[in-house]
Amino acid sequence: MDNLDMKEMLRRLKENMSAQPVKDGDIVSQMSYTVDNWNPEKPDNNIIDERLNELKNVLRDIPAAEGDIIPLMRKAVDEWNPNDGGISDGTVLSVGDGIVNVSGLDGAAYGEIVIFSGGIRGMVQELRRNEVGCVVFGDDSEICEGSPVKCTGKTAGVPVGDGFIGRVVDALGNPIDGKGKIAESGYRQIESPAPGIIDRQPVNKPLETGILTIDSMFPIGRGQRELIIGDRQTGKTAIALDAILNQKNKNVICIYVAIGQKASSVAQLVETLRKSGAMDYSVVVSATASEPAPMQYIAPYVGCAIGEYFMENGSDVLIVYDDLSKHAVAYRALSLLLERSPGREAYPGDVFYLHSRLLERSAHLCERLGGGSMTALPIVETQAGDVSAYIPTNIISITDGQIFLESDLFFAGQRPAVNIGLSVSRVGGDAQTKAMKTAAGAIRLELAQFREMEVFTQFSSDLDDATKRQLSYGEGLMALLKQDQYHPYKQYEQVILLVTAMAHIMQDVPAKRIHEFSLGLLDFCSNEISDICEDIEKTGRLGDEYKARIIDCSKKYLDIFMNN
């Protein structure tokens, strides 16, 4: 729509308002009704809405002196001229590979949304002296050289609201699950400043993943950023998925952002969430490998904006970015097409800021702001276990710890294949309940000693009994940490297993039967000491009396197990 069309429509609005019959006492409501219900023949909603809001503000600011309100309002309508808001028109110079170079947009700002012919939207990503470079959100085949471009004066945003829960959306917030339109409650910018230090509080509330290895040794707190890193096909997504499944009935909203994944993989994941009842508290944002690089680029920011809506309303949020390696590759493609100077591994110079400004938005807000939190689980894929590559080192330095998955462990059957030595949580015990902290004890130290002794004894066949016993104990611990996918443990189950293991009760159970023993033990304890199980789950505490009763119950079950 050009400026002449818009002025003609606004002129008709003036005529409509001037023609309103004047009744005593209700002129203001009549005028307001006329503005609210006026529909132009060719609406360009964003621009028209802005101009109508200007008119409403003019009418609202009129001094309401008794007896002269009607002529003042008519004078205000007659004299009102809409501000063009600095909106400028430009012309396409060149288009290709999702990148459009435009001249004439002198007032354009970085990150501003522009509209091409046919209603296709794009975003300004490069500012030059005589032209700007824009990325296109959609098919650029309808854009041709010489076609008009219009600024909107707005930065990129996404609709948000409770209606997004249980839905699958694309990188623009549009539903793609065939369930109809989403009822939105508001609109948020996809880029927003991270909460300041004063607006945060310490990360001290646990967010249980239900994975014994992680919750016992690398606990995650609400508001933390914990990186999941490893080679392809080592179970990175499986850990994130188990963490989502474990949030059932815990009042945590989960958001899964798929970046550059196969559409079939995303569909399979959504089906898994649906079968487990996890879609009742989850949102999936999908920018698959078949979508243009600009869509993959903005997807994590869209997911973060949706998460911030829930966080600022006092909810706890878990957001998974799967994965940021592909996100960096999409941004590298855009930057090279925009002719930016390449740096290390051909990434642009601001690739660190690309991820730091995203992950810094995860926080545990102070009580004054509602006390909500957003916990981030970014995923990064390594090549041949190289954690010293550019993107992995960037994100390791941004996050509050990492869970490193090792290919050798995975192929040896140790799943989840968490490398105890390279993994770390920088929040640590602050993000554990007292029961878990007491039960876990020195398990990480004992596993480290086992791994060291295992390497040393590879070169020796003559071992003393004490060494053999320690190796047997370590093998039992490693077997205990194996866990089936999509079967997260409850807190009391983890506590029972850890207390039993650290008391060396499983010492004489063969490593191959540890899994069978642990499942049977949990069933036995849930019947024999159900009061303790309920209390641990409810309070998160483990006293000496409870610990002694768990050990006694474990010994009873050991006798039953070994005699069968």
**Is residue 444 classed exposed, middle or buried when 0-12, 13-18 and 19+ CB atoms within 10 A define those classes?**
middle
Q: Can you give the C-alpha Rg of the chain in angstroms?
A: 30
Q: How far apart are CA 201 and CA 526, in angstroms?
A: 36
**CA-CA-CA-CA dihedral for 139, 144, 147, 152, to nearest 10:** 30
Across 372-462, where does the E strand assignment appear? 373-381, 401-405, 424-425
Q: Give residues with Cβ within 8 angstroms of 270, minimum separation 6.
A: 168, 177, 279, 284
In contact, 424 and 401? CB cutoff 8 Å: yes
Residue that has been written with the tokens 């509602």 in this structure: 370
CA distances from 486 to 227, 228, 337, 480, 483 (A): 20, 17, 41, 17, 9
DSSP per-residue string spanning 197-242: STTB----SB---S-HHHHHHS--BTT-B-EEEESTTSSHHHHHHH
CA distances from 179 to 171, 262, 272, 358, 458 (A): 17, 21, 18, 29, 58
The amino acid that residue 302 corresponds to is V
Q: How far apart are CA 153 and CA 158, in angstroms?
A: 15
Lookup: tokens for 528: 């024999």
Lookup: tokens for 558: 């050991």
Angle at 229 between CA 227 and CA 233, to 5 degrees: 140
Q: Which residue in 200, 340, 357, 426 is the catalytic one?
A: 426
Across 324-449, where does the E strand assignment appear? 373-381, 401-405, 424-425
The amino acid that residue 30 corresponds to is Q
Q: How far apart are CA 172 and CA 184, in angstroms?
A: 13
In contact, 315 and 269? CB cutoff 8 Å: no
- Total Cβ atoms within 10 A of residue 198: 9
Handedness of CA 383, 387, 389, 390 (dihedral sign): positive
Q: How far apart are CA 188 and CA 539, in angstroms?
A: 37
426 is catalytic: yes
CA distances from 305 to 186, 210, 269, 310 (A): 11, 27, 22, 9
Q: How far apart are CA 347 and CA 352, in angstroms?
A: 10
Taking alpha carbons only, the member of 263, 298, 236, 310 closest to residue 168 is 263
DSSP per-residue string spanning 159-206: EESGGGTT-EE-TTS-B-SSS------EEEESS-PPP-STTB----SB
Residues paired with 131 in a beta bridge: 103
Where in the sequence numbering do the catalytic residues fall? 426
